[in-house]
Amino acid sequence: MSISLAVFNTLGLQQSCSSFVEVTHKAELVETCKDLYKQQLPMLILGGGSNVVFTDDFDGTVVKVATKGIQVTEDTDYYYLSVQAGENWHNLVEFCLNKQIYGLENLALIPGTVGAAPIQNIGAYGVEFNRFCYQVEFLQLDTGTLNHFDKDQCHFGYRDSIFKQQLKNLVVITEVTLRLNKQWQPIINYGPLQHFDPAQVTAKQIFDSVCKVRQAKLPDPKVLGNVGSFFKNPIVSSTCYELLKSRYAELVGYQQIDGRFKIAAGWLIDTAGLKGFNIGNAGVHKDQALVLVNLGNATGAEICQLARHIIQEVYDTFAVILEPEPRIMGSVEEIEIQ
Ligand SMILES: Cc1cc2nc3c(=O)[nH]c(=O)nc-3n(C[C@H](O)[C@H](O)[C@H](O)COP(=O)(O)OP(=O)(O)OC[C@H]3O[C@@H](n4cnc5c(N)ncnc54)[C@H](O)[C@@H]3O)c2cc1C
């Protein structure tokens, strides 16, 4: 029997899977995944489905992580939150705010689960997950054991971590521990937060402001299917940046510690004339060039075709290579978009 995945992915793609299991306890998550791995059966670990593109029916078991629980401990300087992988990220941000535990407010309204947060080191409004990461617990599939990494072992980078690289498909994240400083410092150096006075601003004001800006800027997946930003902001050499800057005075670049420059993928797509461009039912959002949307019954193949077209056009125009942010799923495993 096939089970529809349409409500389990924020692009609303009408793909299905041959088997589906929702797990609500850590022990069940561990046993289910150990079993499937032992039997060498294709499995896909799914959180909120806000960072996946299904290009085909999945010929295997989708394990939906719905484990719940938040435990708070503290020492003199910090709060520690041990959170089950299936908790909703935004609910966690609200939970903290209500408990007067501050720091996560810039990351409000990012869809998805806590277990997926370390994978691409979620980030928004000048803050990334790794700032608060204390420990990530995971099931190592080949040994069937629960292990954990501290922050440094996770090799966090921009939308990147060891879980997307060396440990891809080899582990299932079961629990995440965050550490939040009791001496809260607002982070308000990013665009729409810059008007706040650091001496006066509250975490709630930052939270409200981030929610308001996000709701105004990003299409609601319930209305228009999407996975947020479809491409990472490319990081280019200083030579490449200077060359582009000489051609496009309005180009904004953020210098990285290694001297390279991060430039806005949305600006590249927009300037290449692709805002509002469609292939079939897959479209570039009319206001946010970085967001690809399901205009109604789009297939994952159409979304990928559109993404490939964008990558080619941006390359032809600027000689810059765009890299997709979401994970592209084929019939039995993750695939490359190219
Ligand atoms: C409207 C919108 C706005 C967004 N804004 C942002 C943003 O501001 N910043 C940002 O960083 N991202 C953003 N995203 C992307 C997305 O929210 C994040 O990537 C999020 O962390 C994905 O969580 P998820 O639970 O939905 O993961 P899923 O989409 O379910 O899974 C993503 C990948 O992680 C794997 N995975 C999931 N859970 C586990 C686990 N427990 N163990 C092992 N592997 C697992 C899956 O197999 C898959 O490969 C946005 C998405 C949308 C739709």
The pLDDT tens digits for 184-199 are: 999 999 889 999 999 9
Distance between CA atoms of 135 and 293, rounded to whole angstroms? Answer: 34
Question: Please, are residues 58 and 42 in contact by the beta-carbon 8 Å criterion?
Answer: yes
| Span from the CA of 35 to the centroid of ligand 1 (angstroms) | 24
* Class level of CATH domain 3-65: alpha beta
Residue 27: pLDDT over 80: yes
Evaluated on CA atoms 243, 239, 229, 338, the torsion sign reads: positive
Structural Rg of the chain based on CA atoms: 20
The pLDDT tens digits for 64-85 are: 999 999 999 999 999 999 999 9
Question: Please, are residues 192 and 209 in contact by the beta-carbon 8 Å criterion?
Answer: yes
| Span from the CA of 230 to the centroid of ligand 1 (angstroms) | 12
Distance between CA atoms of 22 and 29, rounded to whole angstroms? Answer: 9
Q: Whose CA is nearest to atom 52 of ligand 1?
A: 228
Distance between CA atoms of 97 and 104, rounded to whole angstroms? Answer: 8
Q: Which amino acid makes up residue 134?
A: Y
| Strand pairing report for 52-54 and 327-329 | parallel
Q: Whose CA is nearest to atom 32 of ligand 1?
A: 51
Pocket probe for ligand 1: among 22, 119, 141, the residue whose CB has the most ligand atoms within 8 Å is: 119
| Span from the CA of 5 to the centroid of ligand 1 (angstroms) | 16
Q: According to the model, what pLDDT value does residue 1 have?
A: 76
Q: According to the model, what pLDDT value does residue 225 have?
A: 98
Residue 306's SS3 state is helix
% of the chain exceeding 90 in pLDDT? 98
In the chain, % helix, strand, coil (3-state, to 5) comes to 25, 30, 45
Residue 338: pLDDT over 70: no
DSSP string, 82-134: EEETTSBHHHHHHHHHHTT--SGGGGTT--SBTTTTTTTT-EETTEEGGGTEE
The CATH topology of domain 219-335 is 3.90.78
The pLDDT tens digits for 33-53 are: 999 999 999 999 999 999 999
The CATH topology of domain 70-216 is 3.30.465
Q: Confirm whether 325 is a catalytic residue.
A: yes
Pocket probe for ligand 1: among 24, 50, 92, the residue whose CB has the most ligand atoms within 8 Å is: 50
Q: Please give all residues whose beta carbon lies within 6 A of any atom in ligand 1, as ranges.
A: 10, 44-52, 65, 85, 110-113, 115-117, 119-120, 122-124, 172-173, 218, 221, 226-228, 327
Residue 329's SS3 state is strand
Closest ligand 1 atom to Cα of 117: 21
Mean pLDDT of 141-159: 97
Banded pLDDT at 100 (limits 50, 70, 90) = very high
Q: H helices of the chain, where?
A: 26-38, 89-98, 203-217, 238-247, 265-271, 300-318
Residue 265: pLDDT over 70: yes
Closest among 63, 52, 77, 78 to 28, alpha carbons compared? 63
What residue segments make up the domains of the chain, in order of their start? Answer: 3-65, 70-216, 219-335
Give strand pairing partners of 324.
Answer: 231
The pLDDT tens digits for 126-135 are: 999 999 999 9
| Span from the CA of 48 to the centroid of ligand 1 (angstroms) | 7
| Span from the CA of 250 to the centroid of ligand 1 (angstroms) | 32
Give strand pairing partners of 58.
Answer: 17
